[in-house]
Amino acid sequence: MAMKLGGEYVASRISIKHFETFAEEISLSKEGIKKRVIELTESTVRALEQMNIRNTVEKEIAELIKKRCTYLLTSSAMAK
């Protein structure tokens, strides 16, 4: 990534804690940011599952996105 998010530059390492740190840095509610990240990741996974992806490259991209969304959801569950 070109910029860090909550102190992390590597996209695959970003967890819900980084979004909470980001919220503090920009004076927003940590719970509000956390709730929105969860909403967006869940809706992204649902949308990907409904798509009719046939191209191999598109499938790989979709799987990577699902994997990162799942990681964010898992990290948010662990942060409770």
* Tens digits of residue pLDDT in 20-73: 999 999 999 999 999 999 999 999 999 999 999 999 999 999 999 999 999 998
Within a domain: residue 3?
no
The pLDDT assigned to 1 comes to: 67
pLDDT confidence of 2, banded at 50, 70, 90?
A: confident
In 10 A of CB 3, how many CB atoms?
5
Q: Give the integer Cα–Cα distance in Å for 10 and 71.
A: 14
- Domain boundaries, position 22: 11-78
pLDDT of 15 > 80? The answer is yes
pLDDT of 8 > 70? The answer is yes
The pLDDT assigned to 45 comes to: 95
Q: Give the integer Cα–Cα distance in Å for 73 and 79.
A: 10
Within a domain: residue 2?
no
Within a domain: residue 19?
yes
pLDDT confidence of 3, banded at 50, 70, 90?
A: confident
Within a domain: residue 43?
yes
Q: How many structural domains is the chain composed of?
A: 1
Within a domain: residue 6?
no
Q: Give the integer Cα–Cα distance in Å for 52 and 17.
A: 33
Q: Which helix (H) or strand (E) holds 33?
A: helix 30-50
The pLDDT assigned to 44 comes to: 96
